[in-house]
Copies of this chain bind each other. A is one copy, B any other.
């Protein structure tokens, strides 16, 4: 895709953007503030910019007089970048430019870390747990009339060095006719054991040579969504990807409400059926899109959290939500896919990622596998942030993990105008340091409806950096802007005025909201602290951070460090694993060696229960500040506060 350079004056800051990117997003990406509060609909008319060189697509609105248009003014939110341009921002605040320039910091989200599946082949690891082999057996005659099963097994022993083979009765039943269909030329499908000394199970026998067609489906079995990839087992390539909302959502948004539902009457069976319906729907899309024959899919590999996995297998989850939080199992045997209702051929098996504990599930294990952190020297912090945050710390020598309840703030829950990351959610914000006028970016570039987790972190961080709120999240009440006000006894900041929103109300951020955010980030940070302390280490040993979960890709890393959600670390050392569950599921679809490693890694992941660790509460209380009681842990944040103080002070003098 073409990239263009946008140069912003007077800062002389250049940003590379994709073809067609809106100018306002380009500005935000470069850390350039433009007042804008209507979410990109050209409604507020505040985001006027002057094109100095080159041309923009669009950007003309009735909010601009024709004279201004002729002069080169455009509305940034309506302008698309289609070539290299130079843009002048009308700097409304009388900020000392020399000081301000130093404050321009580009937005940095975590770069995506994607495992290189091609390397599996190079490393000789491309041996899927379910493999096909084409065999040309000698037909029986009077000199050799050993049983069909013996003929097959002895051939595999002799010609393919395959031992410890087993066949179940349904496969044996098909054998005589399949063998004779094409003169004892057949393709066998074998499921490897996860144990070195385990049995290899012959799960299917097809007439002739079908080795060119063999497929697996990797599934991220999420609480909210089910994503899946169809993998070609011949070359390891993903042929199609599809997803849908987990149908269980109708029975509760989070795992706890699902568990509650499962405890009632036939609730467990209902939830089991519903998630399988979703999986079948997604599989249907994959097969349609790829044109693959359903009968040639032999494996489904799924990674999900412990609750999702137990619900899929109809394992009663009630004890997951009751102290002492006991899962039914954390290891799951391969199951015949059809026995749990999955609409594939009878022979297809489903493999499930093992879990570590009730709240560190197969999704986290899959993520850890996907990152490769279990075989690296670097001490890595792996963080999957959602309502529950799962934390894994370690390297090739040791792995410690825990889960903590962050509450729903990161997903917009418990925030007055909070919402999920959906169309109309304020996802990014900038503030003019003097006027405190905001620049809002919404998902879908529409008028704002609310604020999602990443927007929440950013606005709170910026306000803290600029001294709009103090380290306990309380507003500075003497800033002389109508956006900061007291309402029903609670102080708040108006992000968008009523006439700029979709909801016909002012969208505000209250001190209560900020308090909830602080609790959420405090839970995560203190979880990390406690976990490190349990293994005798402290936060400064962390060499790398890997974020997982959809949320992880949107977080502005600087801002996350500002509020003390993440420890201060070079943002280049923070990566995003993408859909860790899906990557992990894909990995073991393609290589049985990884499947064995999963067991080994799961066994090494020492689980700590924060509720049983008395120091957790102390760490939590210490983390209930922005960024932390001990500001010394965040020298960069301290420095940012100071430099903003200087900028603002200089511009006021």
Assess A169 versus B313: contact at CB under 8 Å? Given A142-B609, A145-B324, A176-B318.
yes
Q: How far is the CA of A357 from the CA of B147 in the complex (A)?
A: 8
Task: Report A119 CB to chain B, min CB distance, Å.
Answer: 33
Are A326 and B142 touching (Cβ within 8 A)? Answer: no
Whether the pair B172, A323 counts as a contact (CB closer than 8 A) is no
* Assembly CA distance A143 to B140 (angstroms): 62
Q: Nearest CB to that of A193 among chain B residues?
A: B199
A315 touches B168 (CB 8 A): no
- Mask: chain A, 131-168; 1 = CB below 8 Å from B; 0 = not: 00000000011111111111000000000000000111
Asked if A326 contacts B167 (CB within 8 A), the reply is: no
A535 within 8 A of B: no
Interfacial chain B residues near A168, Cβ < 8 Å: 333
- Residues A267-322 near B (CB distance < 8 A): 313-316, 318-319
List which A157-208 residues lie within 8 A (CB) of chain B: 166-169, 172-173, 175-177, 197-199
Is the beta-carbon distance between B173 and A333 smaller than 8 angstroms?
Answer: no
For the complex, what is the distance from the CA of A331 to the CA of B152, rounded to whole Å? 13
Contact between B173 and A313 (Cβ–Cβ < 8 Å)? yes
In the complex, A186 Cα to B318 Cα: how many Å? 20
Chain B residues whose C-beta falls within 8 Å of the C-beta of A198 in the assembled complex: 199
A169 to B199, CA, bound (A): 18
Known: A176-B319, A177-B316. A326 touches B149 (CB 8 A): no
Is A150 a contact of B330 with CB atoms below 8 Å? yes
Whether A329 touches B172, Cβ cut-off 8 Å, given contacts A141-B324, A197-B197, A316-B177, is yes
Q: Across the interface, do A140 and B331 meet the contact criterion of CB distance under 8 Å? A: no
Residues of B within 8 A of A611 (CB): 142
Q: Given the known inter-chain contacts A324-B141, A326-B140, please indicate yes or no for A149 contacting B316, CB distance below 8 A.
A: no
In contact, A326 and B173 (Cβ under 8 angstroms): no
Using a CB-CB cutoff of 8 Å, which residues 338-380 of chain A contact chain B? Answer: 339-340, 357-358
Is A612 an interface position by the 8 A CB rule? yes
Q: How far is the CB of A271 from chain B (nearest CB, A)?
A: 14
Per-position 1/0 for A430-455, Cβ under 8 A of B: 00000000000000000000000000
B contact residues around A177 at 8 Å (CB): 316
A148 to chain B, nearest CB (A): 5
In the bound complex, do residue A324 and residue B149 qualify as a contact, i.e. CB atoms below 8 Å apart?
Answer: no
Interface of A is mostly: loop
Say whether A578 faces chain B, with CB atoms less than 8 Å apart.
no
* A398 interface residue per 8 A CB criterion: no
- Chain B nearest CB, measured from A379 CB (Å): 27
Question: Considering the chains assembled together, what is the distance between the CA atoms of A316 and B326 in angstroms?
Answer: 47
Name the interface residues of A483-498: CB closer than 8 Å to any CB of B.
none
Given A142-B323, A319-B176, A612-B142, also A149-B328 (CB < 8 A): yes
Give complex CA distance A167, B326 in Å. 18
A537 at the interface (CB under 8 A from B): no
Residue A335 is within 8 A (CB to CB) of chain B in the complex: yes
Judged by a CB distance under 8 angstroms, whether A327 is at the interface is yes
Check if A251 is an interface residue, CB within 8 A of chain B: no
Given contacts A313-B173, A315-B176, contact A145 B326 (CB under 8 A): yes
A100 close to chain B: CB less than 8 A? no
Q: Which of A144, A198, A324, A329 has most B Cβ within 10 Å?
A: A329
- Within 8 Å by CB of A328, from B175, B331, B333, lies B175
* Complexed CA–CA distance, A394 and B172 (Å): 31
Report which of B313, B328, B340 forms a contact with A148, defined as CB distance below 8 A: B328
Closest Cβ of chain B to A156, distance in Å, is 15
| Contacting residues, chain B, for A199 (C-beta < 8 A) | 198-199
A146 to B326, CA, bound (A): 6
Query: Closest residue of chain B to A172, judged by CB?
Result: B329
Are A331 and B149 interface neighbours, CB within 8 A?
Answer: yes
Cβ A324 vs Cβ B140 within 8 A: yes
Q: Min CB distance, A597 to chain B, in Å?
A: 20
With a cutoff of 8 Å between Cβ atoms, the chain B residues found around residue A612 in the complex are 142-143
A148 and B333: CB pair below 8 A? no
Asked if residues B169 and A335 are in contact (CB atoms below 8 Å), the reply is yes
Given A173-B313, A313-B173, A609-B142, CB of A150 within 8 Å of CB of B324: no
B141 and A328 contacting across the interface, CB-CB below 8 Å: no
Least CB distance, A305 to chain B, in whole angstroms: 14
Q: A150-B330, A315-B176 are in contact. Are A325 and B609 (CB under 8 A)?
A: no
- Chain B residues whose CB sits within 8 angstroms of the CB of A335 once the complex forms: 169
Judge whether A117 is part of the interface by a CB distance below 8 angstroms. no
Complexed CA–CA distance, A79 and B176 (Å)? 60
Cα(A46)–Cα(B43), bound, Å: 128
- Would A150 and B329 count as touching, CB distance under 8 A? yes
- Distance in angstroms between the alpha carbons of A599 and B4 in the assembled complex: 75
Q: Does A551 contact B (CB under 8 A)?
A: no
Report A11-47 residues with CB < 8 Å from chain B CB.
none
Known A197-B197, A327-B148, A328-B147; contact A333-B169, beta-carbon cutoff 8 A = yes
Chain B residue numbers with a CB within 8 Å of A332 are: 169, 172
Q: In the complex the two chains form, is A173's CB within 8 Å of B316's CB?
A: yes
Chain B residues near A172: list those with CB within 8 A.
Answer: 313, 315, 328-329, 332-333
**Chain A 400-436 near chain B by CB (<8 Å), digits 1 or 0:** 0000000000000000000000000000000000000
With A177-B316, A318-B176 given, is the CB distance from A147 to B325 under 8 Å? no
* Nearest CB in chain B: distance from A310 CB, A: 10
Contacts of A323 in B (CB 8 A): 142
Q: Are A316 and B167 in contact (CB under 8 A)?
A: no
**5 extra interchain contacts, Cβ-Cβ under 8 A, other than A169-B335, A176-B328?**
A142-B323, A147-B330, A150-B331, A173-B328, A199-B199
Q: Which 6 pairs, one residue from A and one from B, show the smallest C-beta to C-beta distance?
A: A145-B324, A149-B329, A147-B327, A142-B324, A147-B330, A140-B326
Between A and B, 21 residue pairs with Cβ closer than 8 Å are A140-B324, A140-B326, A142-B323, A142-B324, A142-B612, A145-B609, A146-B326, A147-B326, A147-B329, A148-B326, A149-B328, A150-B330, A169-B313, A169-B333, A169-B340, A172-B315, A172-B333, A176-B315, A176-B318, A176-B319, A176-B328
